[in-house]
Amino acid sequence: MSEKPRDGTAPPFTFERSAELVAANSCWIAGGVSSNFRLGIAPTPLVFERGEGPYLFDADGNRLIDYYLGMGPMILGHSPASVRDAVHRQLDSGILFGGQSEIEAQAARLVCEMVPCAERIRFGSSGTEVVQAALRLARAATGRRLIIKFEGHYHGWLDNISWSTAPALNQAGPASEPVAVAGSAGQEAEAAEGIVVLPWNDLPALEARLAHGDIAGVIMEPAMCNAGVIVPGEGYLEGALAACRHHGSILVFDEVITGFRVAPGGAQERLGVRPDLAVFGKAIANGFPVAAIAGRADLLDMFATHGVLHGGTYNGQCIGMAATVATLSALTPELFATLEQRGARLRDGIADRLAEAGIVASVTGFPGIFFVAFGYAEPAKDYRDLVRRDQVGYRAFTQALLSRGVRALERGAWFMSSAHDDDVIDATLAAVADAAHEVAPQLRR
Ligand code: PMP
């Protein structure tokens, strides 16, 4: 019997080979994955062979329409020719100099031109790392110790900031005065002493705490994108900035997800509020490990003049810089207009298909990143609103999607890229309609 190879673009989409490989690789890689955020994915963490445009090709021979997009970086889709070509050219002239380069200066200039608050920048290699640079600058500039962070906001996995990113409500204390809940076993308990956790989108709570006069900095996702996609209430960001100014605290926007995704200049451009400092990663280099801290010149220059240490062997590495220049150069107003129009069609189409299947859901956020929550129809204001959603039912929905060749994050976020064209969106919406009808009868009432 001759076995015809599958073309991989139609059912059955099954994932046995990925499961086998993850199990086998667990001999070398802890849990078979290199990040805890890739664990526990049903039916199995997937193993991929290739990415192209809106598609990923996996070890089982499936071609999947991908909305993970590397957890956000692939704003131009997988392996876009412009980024590949720029990286190939750079490889021929050098990788890492332990010094400065013209390509680094070009990348810096582009960030400063695109991002409203960016009078100066420094490059790093991950979001986690540049968050630390921002917190250190805030403490150095104010001579104070404490940092305010918000429940449900994620700023990397390190001990001093990984508090209350996704706390269980029975451990999280009262809504108005949340308790700092550790994100990890083994986390240094004393690190909580440098942190104040507040509810987000609650200006009086922020103003009241800032009034103590002991806060070095306030860090927030300007639109909350990790535990849902929630746009701040009218006047919240403006009020937060004014209160920080009034009480001598530094406002830091964590734009690792929103940067170069919700607008060329990030959430600060789209929502019209300029923080003192902002951090970027993900979409800045379409998948290469590049991050940046940007902001007021007087603050950033403290790295050079006031003994504030910022280091990193790979900061400004030429391959990443070439990818940054190619990516940011591609993010034209025309590209964003198309992305917005297609992303809105996808977002609104998903909302319609779910409603047609009788599923109660909220679909919120931007065309470039939005969030689908089951069992919850009102607009959410903060983490505690969304934690009540039907996460089990949504997970069943993403599995039903995956078995139809669409890969969407189990937590509810959808990332868009400029490579997802109208045909891909039509195919996605057909899968959504089908999957919605399959899971609707089993959802929480
Ligand atoms: N901040 C935010 C808002 C993020 O979403 C993330 C990663 N998901 C980080 C910081 C940490 O970035 P990285 O994973 O590159 O260290």
The catalytically annotated residue of 67, 282, 382, 385 is 282
CA of 257 to the centre of ligand 1 (A): 7
Domain 1-66 CATH superfamily: Aspartate Aminotransferase, domain 1 (3.90.1150.10)
pLDDT band, residue 1 (cuts 50/70/90): very low
Ligand 1: which residue has its CA nearest to atom 14?
127
Of 432, 372, 353, the residue nearest 400 (C-alpha): 432
Mean pLDDT of the 111-128 span = 98
Ligand 1 pocket check for 368: Cβ under 6 Å:
no
The catalytically annotated residue of 254, 276, 385, 390 is 254
Ligand 1: which residue has its CA nearest to atom 10?
155
Predicted confidence (pLDDT) at residue 166 exceeds the cutoff of 60: yes
Of 264, 286, 285, 268, the residue nearest 277 (C-alpha): 268
Mean pLDDT of the 161-178 span = 96
The pLDDT, as a whole number, for residue 184 is 97
- CA dihedral of residues 34, 229, 371, 234 (deg, nearest 10): -170
The pLDDT, as a whole number, for residue 377 is 87
Ligand 1: which residue has its CA nearest to atom 1?
155
What residues does CATH 3.40.640.10 cover in the chain? 81-330
Note if 426 is an active site residue: no
Ligand 1 pocket check for 257: Cβ under 6 Å:
yes
Cα gap 313→324, rounded to integer Å: 18
Cα gap 214→196, rounded to integer Å: 11
222-262: per-residue pLDDT in tens? 999 998 999 999 999 999 999 999 999 999 999 999 999 99
Cα gap 279→68, rounded to integer Å: 21
* Atom number in ligand 1 closest to CA 255: 3
Ligand 1 pocket check for 80: Cβ under 6 Å:
no
Mean pLDDT of the 354-372 span = 97
Predicted confidence (pLDDT) at residue 7 exceeds the cutoff of 90: no
373-432: per-residue pLDDT in tens? 999 888 899 999 999 999 999 999 999 999 999 999 999 999 999 999 999 999 999 999
Cα gap 436→12, rounded to integer Å: 18
Residues in a beta bridge with 369: 415
Q: What are phi and psi of 150, to 5 degrees?
A: -115, 145
Ligand 1 pocket check for 152: Cβ under 6 Å:
no
Of 93, 433, 133, 71, the residue nearest 283 (C-alpha): 71
Ligand 1 pocket check for 380: Cβ under 6 Å:
no
The tokens 């409203």 sit on which residue? 116
Note if 282 is an active site residue: yes
Mean pLDDT of the 284-300 span = 98
The pLDDT, as a whole number, for residue 5 is 67
Percentage, residues of the chain above pLDDT 90: 95
Question: Contact, 408 vs 369, CB < 8 A?
Answer: no
The pLDDT, as a whole number, for residue 3 is 63
The pLDDT, as a whole number, for residue 240 is 98
Predicted confidence (pLDDT) at residue 2 exceeds the cutoff of 60: no
What residues does CATH 3.90.1150.10 cover in the chain? 1-66, 332-445
Note if 4 is an active site residue: no
* Atom number in ligand 1 closest to CA 126: 15
Q: Where are the alpha helices (DSSP H) in 71-222?
A: 81-93, 102-114, 127-142, 203-210
**What does pLDDT average to over the chain?**
96
Percentage, residues of the chain above pLDDT 70: 99
Predicted confidence (pLDDT) at residue 189 exceeds the cutoff of 50: yes
The pLDDT, as a whole number, for residue 40 is 85
The pLDDT, as a whole number, for residue 444 is 75
User: Domain 81-330 carries which CATH code?
Assistant: 3.40.640.10
Ligand 1 pocket check for 266: Cβ under 6 Å:
no
pLDDT band, residue 42 (cuts 50/70/90): confident
53-104: per-residue pLDDT in tens? 999 999 999 999 999 999 999 999 999 999 999 999 999 999 999 999 999 9
Ligand 1 pocket check for 409: Cβ under 6 Å:
no
Ligand 1 pocket check for 226: Cβ under 6 Å:
yes
User: Domain 332-445 carries which CATH code?
Assistant: 3.90.1150.10
Instruction: Identify which of 257, 260, 383 to mutate to test ligand 1's pocket (most ligand atoms within 8 A of the CB).
Output: 257
